């Protein structure tokens, strides 16, 4: 009995098959964020392999920057950071307000390493947006030796309110010259700050539901930031 040979698949058909598989993988990625982080990373790597792109495949990361380039991923509303071996550092002769591109969201966790070299402090914006006049609406955590406290403030059209949460650090706290691991957890109407792994401050407000992550320094000081990341809950 003669058997008809199976027809070979053409190059065009093979390419079509790869494209279909790629599109299917891309279509299910949002659902996979609900699964295990290791599976998320594996799928991300597969998509990069098929598409020829390079992504940050760490599970849950929606933004990160090592401040190797300036302005890089940042939109400056006031002043700017200078980048180099020490990270993103502010100039002492002018204040800085800058927001991270692509960081808009509701709930997220911000991690950065920051060092105040001199002056009255620095801040981390969250759920922040720029109004039509280039002014901030949102919130900030402030590392504030000028007040002698860690504080949270609400911003309305570029004006900061009195703190809605504040706490003094332990006696003898070293404000300057020491790199600090800063973490801000934004969830619902509750915001929690950790410094060097210890919870130091928590505040509540429900005015702003979503917005970007940013950094600020003020006149006469200098602060440097390294390896900032924003992750999903």
Query: For 207-232, what is each residue's pLDDT tens digit?
Result: 999 999 999 998 888 999 988 999 99
- Nearest-angstrom CA–CA distance, 159 and 96: 15
What pLDDT sits at residue 93? 66
Residue-range domain boundaries for the chain: 11-59, 62-231
Query: What digits encode the pLDDT tens for the residues 40-91?
Result: 455 455 544 554 444 455 558 999 999 888 878 899 999 888 887 778 888 7
The pLDDT-based confidence of 10 (bands split at 50, 70, 90) is low
3-state secondary structure of 144: strand
- Nearest-angstrom CA–CA distance, 156 and 198: 30
60 secondary structure, DSSP code: T
* CATH code, residues 62-231: 2.60.120.560
What pLDDT sits at residue 48? 47
What pLDDT sits at residue 44? 53
Entry pTM: 0.75
CA angle 111, 117, 121 (to 5 degrees): 65
Q: Looking at 10-24, 64-78, 117-131, which range is the least confident one?
A: 10-24
Query: What digits encode the pLDDT tens for the residues 153-207?
Result: 999 999 999 999 999 999 999 999 999 999 999 999 999 999 999 999 999 999 9
What pLDDT sits at residue 49? 57
What pLDDT sits at residue 55? 46
Q: Residue 96 in contact with residue 119, Cβ under 8 Å?
A: no
Residues facing 143 on adjacent strands: 122, 150
């Amino acid at each position: 009995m003669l058997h008809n040979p199976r027809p070979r698949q053409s190059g065009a058909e093979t390419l079509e098959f790869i494209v279909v598989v790629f599109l299917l993988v891309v279509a299910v990625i949002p659902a996979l964020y609900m699964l295990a982080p290791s599976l998320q990373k594996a799928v991300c790597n597969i998509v990069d392999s098929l598409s020829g792109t390079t992504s940050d495949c760490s599970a849950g990361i929606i933004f990160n920057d090592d401040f190797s380039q300036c302005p890089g991923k940042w939109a400056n509303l006031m002043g700017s950071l200078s980048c180099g071996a020490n990270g993103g550092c502010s100039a002492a002769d002018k204040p800085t307000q800058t927001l991270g591109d692509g960081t808009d969201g509701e709930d997220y966790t911000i991690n950065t390493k920051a060092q105040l070299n001199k002056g009255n402090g620095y801040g981390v914006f969250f759920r922040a947006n720029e109004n039509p006049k280039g002014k901030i609406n949102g919130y900030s955590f402030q590392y504030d030796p000028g007040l002698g406290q860690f504080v949270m403030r609400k911003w309305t059209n570029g004006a900061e309110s009195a703190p809605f949460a504040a706490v003094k650090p332990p006696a003898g706290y070293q404000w300057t010259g020491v790199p600090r691991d800063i973490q801000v957890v934004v969830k619902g109407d509750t915001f929690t700050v950790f410094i060097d792994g210890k919870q130091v401050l928590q505040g509540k407000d429900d005015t702003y539901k979503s917005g970007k992550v940013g950094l600020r320094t003020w006149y006469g000081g200098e602060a440097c930031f390294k390896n900032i990341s924003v992750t999903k809950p």
